[in-house]
């Protein structure tokens, strides 16, 4: 083949520019090579695929083994300017929080930083919302180049199991990585828990810089697999837990809606206040501290930043008070997250603990009865409502939850459900509105309607 000069790349034929390389990805609904003719018509210089096309596509083709990985690496190479320090966090719960806290610790210690994930791209200048938790490789490297050109040298990424499985991060090498925990999610995409876990393990086995740092929550049942992967990579392991080498816990006590933590940091006794609700946030904050320290933050400086941390939007966030009761919004849309949030709030409910929640459509159905069971076991008054039904029948989603939640009320309309819960609050009660966290929309069918739990709670309290 003669030498070809390529101007750029894309995996979506509809967005290709003339002279660019078209990467034909094996999608979940269609193989990208079906759009070869479209790519050729738009002037693509070449197609890269993992299989030879059936007929002449009208442009030169390179066949590679793993076209998603090739796409990710090409996207990285095409955007040479990159932040010098990148870390990433994986796990079923806590990624957004850990990424946000890592960014805040870097900022507090004089390092302009960004976090990239479910919320979007966040810097000291604000938040630019995004579409995916782990962005598509091209979007990712464009964003990273943009950040580097603004002088941001420190970035913390969320590595989702979809993102890892689809090689979206394969163009990166991380100075430090972290594992928070593993529990059920996304079994609509991964065939079983083992493949879900193995997708997450790729962050440790393939993307951590050899000799880098691996932060591991030792209290999780899957910690062993992540430690073994880190060791095989020649990584330094920073363990957090009852017996952690980085941080070992002694006591965690509630202080108002925050908490005081005492323990040993690398063997040295320390005690600090964390202005966040829920013991799980202590793990998240320490994971962030370990990531920050693995990238040059001094222990003293990092510790000094913890009492100033702000929770990510909609992560067990106190959003209002009504009639002597407290109202929280939380992004728990998985069984363990819901359980964690309810257990965290129970000590604050001298009266009853109320819950309003639902489950997303076109997502793992097995989560629904599990969440129903958790709800009636741990809350006193439960209303099952709609989350994002997407293209499923909303009433059927509720029915799948309700089958495992005897005694729960059913109010499909989320605004009405929140209103009904707020209206019954008594002094000493706590209400948790779960599932949508920061989201400012509700997806019904394929339409996104504006909807914010924050706004609807405020409305309900006002009226
Ligand atoms: C299941 C899944 O992850 N799908 C992602 C995947 O799409 P896909 O491989 O299924 O794409 P496809 O529709 O089969 O098309 C195959 C290829 O043909 C191309 N195409 C298609 C049409 C056309 O005219 N021309 C063309 O070239 C497409 O651009 C694609 O490259 O690759 C796309 C491009 O990167 C993603 O946008 C898309 O995310 C969808 C929208 C999605 O909802 N993903 C969710 C489930 C997800 O990834 N979530 C995780 C975890 C969330 C969390 O736990 O926080 C996340 O990281 O966000
Ligand atoms: N370390 C943790 N252990 C258990 N539950 C947690 C932990 N951190 C957060 N949670 C729960 O999970 C919810 C989501 O937290 P967060 O957004 O930080 O996680 P995530 O991994 O980014 O989730 P997602 O994959 O949905 O984006 C929180 O609202 C809380 O209910
Ligand atoms: N990134 C997650 C978000 C789920 C949020 C929840 N509100 C829902 O719609 O299920 C997913 O796409 O599975
Ligand atoms: Mg997230």
Domain match, 235 and 361 both: no
Longest C-alpha distance within the chain, in Å?
77
Domain match, 33 and 157 both: no
pLDDT of 2 higher than 70: no
Residue that finishes a domain, picked among 65, 87, 108: 65
Q: Which atom of ligand 1 is nearest to the CA of 31?
A: 16
Indicate which CATH number applies to the domain containing 304.
3.40.1190.10
Indicate which CATH number applies to the domain containing 405.
3.90.190.20
The residue whose CB lies within 8 Å of the most ligand 2 atoms, and thus the one to mutate among 88, 89, 90, 97, is 97
| Mean pLDDT within 224-251 | 93
- The Å distance, Cα 2 to ligand 4 centre, comes to 45
Report the nearest-CA residue for atom 7 of ligand 3.
Answer: 436
- The Å distance, Cα 130 to ligand 3 centre, comes to 14
Domain match, 331 and 381 both: yes
Indicate which CATH number applies to the domain containing 19.
3.40.1390.10
Structural domain boundaries enclosing 340: 317-462
> Which pLDDT score, from 0 to 100, does residue 4 have?
81
Domain match, 241 and 362 both: no
Report whether residue 436 contacts ligand 3, using a CB cutoff of 6 Å. yes
- The Å distance, Cα 47 to ligand 3 centre, comes to 33
The residue whose CB lies within 8 Å of the most ligand 2 atoms, and thus the one to mutate among 100, 222, 283, 331, is 331
Domain match, 272 and 133 both: yes
Per-residue pLDDT of 245-297, as tens digits, reads 899 989 999 999 999 999 999 889 999 999 999 999 999 999 999 999 999 99
Please state, for a pLDDT cut of 70, what percent of the chain lies above it.
100
Report whether residue 386 contacts ligand 3, using a CB cutoff of 6 Å. no
User: Could you tell me if residue 205 is inside a domain?
Assistant: yes
Domain match, 168 and 236 both: yes
> Which pLDDT score, from 0 to 100, does residue 190 have?
86
Residue that finishes a domain, picked among 308, 341, 367: 308
> Which pLDDT score, from 0 to 100, does residue 336 have?
93
User: Could you tell me if residue 3 is inside a domain?
Assistant: no
pLDDT of 48 higher than 70: yes
User: Could you tell me if residue 441 is inside a domain?
Assistant: yes
Q: Which atom of ligand 3 is nearest to the CA of 364?
A: 13
Domain match, 266 and 369 both: no
Q: Which atom of ligand 1 is nearest to the CA of 185?
A: 54
User: Could you tell me if residue 446 is inside a domain?
Assistant: yes
Domain match, 151 and 283 both: yes
> Which pLDDT score, from 0 to 100, does residue 1 have?
61
Ligand 1 pocket by C-beta < 6 Å: which residues? 11-14, 25, 27-30, 32, 35, 118, 132-134, 136, 160, 162-163
User: Could you tell me if residue 234 is inside a domain?
Assistant: yes
Please tell me the total count of domains within the chain: 3
User: Could you tell me if residue 71 is inside a domain?
Assistant: no
> Which pLDDT score, from 0 to 100, does residue 176 have?
98
pLDDT of 116 higher than 70: yes
Domain match, 252 and 109 both: yes
User: Could you tell me if residue 60 is inside a domain?
Assistant: yes
The rounded distance, in Å, linking the Cα atoms of 187 and 195 is 9
User: Could you tell me if residue 100 is inside a domain?
Assistant: yes
Domain match, 143 and 223 both: yes
Q: What is the mean pLDDT of the chain?
A: 96
Ligand closest in space to the Cα of 316 = 2
Residues marked as binding?
13, 91-97, 133-134, 160, 166, 168, 363, 387-390, 435, 439
- The Å distance, Cα 184 to ligand 3 centre, comes to 13
Residue that finishes a domain, picked among 245, 280, 308: 308
Report the nearest-CA residue for atom 56 of ligand 1.
Answer: 133
Domain match, 24 and 41 both: yes
Band of the pLDDT at 243, cuts 50, 70, 90? Answer: confident
Report the nearest-CA residue for atom 32 of ligand 1.
Answer: 27
Domain match, 167 and 227 both: yes
The residue whose CB lies within 8 Å of the most ligand 1 atoms, and thus the one to mutate among 96, 99, 132, 202, is 132
pLDDT of 178 higher than 70: yes
């Amino acid at each position: 083949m003669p030498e070809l000069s390529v101007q750029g790349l894309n995996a979506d034929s509809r967005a290709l520019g003339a002279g660019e390389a078209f990467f034909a990805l094996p999608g979940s609904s269609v193989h990208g090579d079906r759009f070869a003719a479209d790519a050729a018509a738009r002037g693509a210089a070449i197609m890269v695929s993992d299989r030879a096309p059936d007929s002449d596509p009208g442009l030169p083709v390179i066949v590679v083994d793993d076209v998603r990985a090739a796409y990710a690496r090409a996207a990285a190479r095409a955007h040479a300017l990159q932040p010098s320090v990148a870390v990433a966090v994986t796990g079923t719960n806590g990624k957004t929080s850990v990424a946000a806290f890592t960014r805040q610790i870097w900022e507090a210690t004089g390092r302009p930083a960004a976090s990239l994930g479910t919320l979007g791209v966040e810097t000291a200048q604000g938040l630019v919302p995004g579409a995916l938790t782990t962005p598509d490789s091209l979007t990712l490297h464009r964003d990273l180049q943009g950040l580097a050109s603004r002088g941001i040298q420190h970035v913390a990424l969320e590595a989702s199991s979809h993102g890892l499985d689809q090689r979206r991060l394969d163009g990166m090498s991380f100075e430090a990585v972290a594992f928070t925990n593993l529990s059920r999610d996304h079994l609509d995409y991964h065939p079983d828990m083992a493949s879900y876990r193995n997708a997450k393990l790729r962050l440790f086995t393939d993307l951590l810089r050899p000799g880098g740092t691996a932060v591991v929550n030792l209290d999780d049942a899957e910690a062993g697999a992540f430690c073994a992967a880190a060791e095989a990579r020649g990584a330094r392991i920073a363990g957090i837990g009852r017996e952690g080498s980085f941080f070992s816990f002694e006591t965690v006590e509630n202080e108002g809606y925050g908490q005081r933590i005492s323990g040993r940091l690398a063997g040295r006794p320390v005690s600090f206040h964390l202005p966040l609700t829920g013991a799980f946030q202590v793990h998240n904050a320490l994971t962030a501290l370990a990531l920050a320290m693995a990238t040059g933050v001094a222990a003293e400086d990092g510790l000094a930043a913890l009492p100033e941390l702000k929770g990510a939007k909609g992560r067990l966030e106190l959003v209002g008070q009504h009639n002597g009761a407290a109202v929280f919004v939380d992004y728990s849309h998985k069984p363990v997250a819901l359980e964690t949030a309810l257990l965290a709030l129970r000590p604050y409910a001298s009266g009853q603990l109320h819950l309003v929640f639902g489950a997303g459509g076109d997502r793992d159905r097995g989560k629904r009865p599990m969440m129903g069971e958790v709800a009636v076991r741990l809350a006193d008054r439960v209303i099952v409502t709609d989350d994002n039904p997407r293209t499923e029948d909303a009433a059927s989603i509720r029915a799948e939850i309700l089958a495992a939640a005897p005694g729960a009320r059913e109010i499909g309309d989320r605004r009405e459900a929140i209103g009904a819960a707020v209206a019954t609050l008594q002094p000493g009660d706590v209400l948790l509105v779960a599932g949508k966290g920061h989201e400012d929309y509700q997806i019904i069918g394929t339409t996104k309607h504006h909807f914010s739990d924050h706004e609807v709670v405020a409305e309900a309290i006002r009226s």
